[in-house]
């Protein structure tokens, strides 16, 4: 390992940027081999994307992430994160194709910009491709969305992020456990 070499000897290269290879060329080669394996294997690529998104969510600033990884090491970081969020189990669960519990869904939404994915999924056949028959119901306000969800008139609804938490806690309504997807 290059970081164990004497940095004051003129005939020794200090190695690559990560300190694990004899020189930067070896570092680049090893990185390209790993990247090629990730690019050619869809499962590895999917796992890499999920891990990257998770780390970016946990550490929005690169310098903080780098300091954390330097302090504990990448293997320890992966183990700690896996302890709290088992990526393997989540990936397996996401890939497990079981029959749908319910194919006909009634989904409430408020016609604002952030509801666009719900609205556009129908003409783009995303619902049909997944075997769903979705009826989108335009709703007049957030309180009405909440009430219709509590009364089980909607199977799903477009909500503001705090709404399911408030419903689960009974703030503004009867406490009702609310699942978020």
pLDDT tens digits for 89-138?
766 766 667 777 889 999 999 999 999 999 999 999 999 998 899 999 99
Q: How many domains does the chain have?
A: 2
* 60 and 141 housed in the same domain: no
Which DSSP letter does residue 156 get?
E
pLDDT for residue 123: 93
If asked whether residues 22 and 62 sit together in one domain, one would say yes
* 175 assigned to some structural domain: no
pLDDT computed for residue 18 by the predictor: 62
Instruction: Count Cα atoms within 13 angstroms, Cβ side, for 118.
Output: 20
- Tell me, yes or no, whether 77 lies in a domain: yes
Environment class of 69 (CB within 10 Å of its CB; exposed 0-12, middle 13-18, buried 19+):
middle
Position 179 in a domain: no
Q: Do 121 and 84 lie in a common domain? A: no
Q: How long is the chain? A: 181
Which residue, 65, 94, 123, sits at the end of a domain?
A: 94
65 domain residue, yes or no: yes
User: Which pLDDT score, from 0 to 100, does residue 38 have?
Assistant: 62
CA distance 20 to 15: 7
Which residues does the chain have with pLDDT short of 70? 1-22, 30-39, 90-91, 93-96
Q: Cβ–Cβ contacts within 10 Å for residue 141, how many?
A: 9
Which of these three, 43, 63, 94, is where a domain ends? 94
State the pLDDT at residue 112.
93
């Amino acid at each position: 390992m290059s970081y164990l070499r004497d940095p004051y000897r003129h005939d020794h290269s200090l190695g690559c940027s990560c300190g694990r290879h004899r020189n930067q060329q070896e570092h680049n080669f090893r990185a390209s081999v790993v990247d090629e394996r990730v690019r050619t294997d869809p499962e590895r690529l999917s796992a890499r994307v999920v891990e990257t998104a998770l780390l970016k969510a946990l550490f929005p600033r690169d310098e903080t992430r780098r300091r954390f990884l330097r302090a504990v090491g990448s293997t320890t970081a992966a183990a700690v994160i896996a302890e709290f969020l088992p990526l393997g189990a989540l990936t397996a669960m996401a890939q497990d194709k079981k029959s749908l519990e319910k194919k006909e869904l009634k989904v409430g939404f408020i016609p604002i910009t952030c509801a666009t994915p719900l609205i556009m999924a129908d003409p783009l056949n995303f619902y049909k491709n997944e075997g769903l028959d979705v009826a989108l119901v335009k709703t007049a306000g957030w309180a009405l969305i909440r009430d219709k969800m509590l009364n089980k008139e909607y199977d799903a609804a477009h909500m503001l992020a705090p709404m399911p938490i408030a419903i689960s806690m009974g703030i503004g309504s009867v406490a009702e456990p609310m699942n978020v997807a």
